[in-house]
């Protein structure tokens, strides 16, 4: 099922909102509750659901539990997703120390670095030398890598991990990387995020 990126992002948001509602004791939800929680309109919610064949009950809304099951299955959250982090520097180690991914069923299986000082093989979350990345990817069946290496190394590391079977990359280097057919790159570009914010703040300032 090929679908727009935005639609999948909204699914993630619905899921998060549903967990919150569940925590608050709710059992069912209406499209406009979810819409409010996520910041879209009710029609968008229902349309998104219809794309994935998710249906609710006329008058009764949606059972949160069932809804979560379906969304989780679509998003692949019904099974543990293992990822690796390449580059155990500032960003890389912040990510590796972060506990929030586990709650989401995303496990950082290992980190990799070229700096021998960073290697820590016997940790719960081991940091391994980059030379071992191929074996690790193959043996663990890893599909996703987070790239947190210096800008200059990013393309070469991408080429390496793609050649080892990685199919998706979350890249923190503020560069446009070229990826082989069949490998998806999502960029987290904080410079651009800030620039964007600065622009809109300045515009609001001016038009005030």
102-131 binders of its own copies (CB under 8 A): 104, 106
Structure token digits, residue 87: 């580059």
**Which residue is nearest to ligand NAD, using beta carbons?**
89
One residue of 4, 192, 197, 203 binding DNA per CB under 7 A: 4
Q: Alpha carbon of 33 to those of 46, 54, 130: distances in Å? A: 12, 17, 47
10-29 binders of DNA (CB under 7 A): none
Nearer to its own copies, 58 or 103 (CB): 103
Nearer to its own copies, 43 or 197 (CB): 197
> Which burial class, exposed, middle or buried, applies to 136 when counting CB atoms under 10 A from its CB (0-12, 13-18, 19+)?
middle
Burial 100-135 (b: 16+ CB within 10 A, else e): eeeeeeeebbbbbbeeeebbeeeeeeebbebeebee
One residue of 53, 100, 116, 141 binding ligand NAD per CB under 6 A: 100
- Please identify, among the stretches 31-39, 43-51, 52-60, 118-126, the one whose residues bind its own copies according to the rule CB under 8 A: 31-39
Q: Residue 121, SS3?
A: coil
Least Å from the CB of residue 100 to ligand NAD = 5
Residue 81 contacts its own copies per CB under 8 A: yes
Rounded Cα distance, 72 and 14, in Å: 10
Least Å from the CB of residue 178 to DNA = 18
Query: Which residues contribute to the site for DNA (CB under 7 A)?
Result: 4, 6-7, 30-32, 40-44, 46-47, 49-50, 54-62
């Amino acid at each position: 099922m090929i679908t727009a990126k935005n639609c999948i992002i909204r699914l993630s948001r619905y899921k998060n909102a549903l967990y919150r509602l569940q925590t608050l004791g709710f059992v069912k939800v209406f499209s406009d509750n979810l819409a409010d929680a996520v910041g879209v309109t009710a029609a968008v919610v229902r349309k998104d659901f219809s794309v994935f064949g998710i249906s609710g009950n006329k008058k009764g809304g949606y059972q949160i539990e069932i809804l979560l099951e379906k969304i989780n299955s679509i998003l692949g959250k019904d099974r543990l997703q293992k990822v690796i982090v390449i580059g155990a520097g500032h960003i890389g180690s912040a990510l590796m120390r972060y506990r929030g991914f586990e709650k989401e069923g995303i496990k950082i299986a290992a980190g990799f670095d070229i700096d021998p000082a960073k290697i820590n093989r016997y940790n719960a979350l081991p940091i391994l030398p980059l030379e071992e990345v191929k074996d690790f990817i193959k043996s663990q069946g890893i599909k996703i890598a987070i790239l947190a290496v210096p800008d200059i190394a990013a393309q070469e590391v991408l080429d390496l991990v793609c050649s080892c079977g990685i199919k998706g990359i979350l890249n923190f280097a503020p560069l446009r990387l070229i990826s082989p057919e069949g490998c998806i790159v999502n960029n987290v570009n904080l410079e651009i995020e800030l620039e964007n914010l600065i622009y809109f703040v300045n515009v609001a300032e001016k038009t005030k």
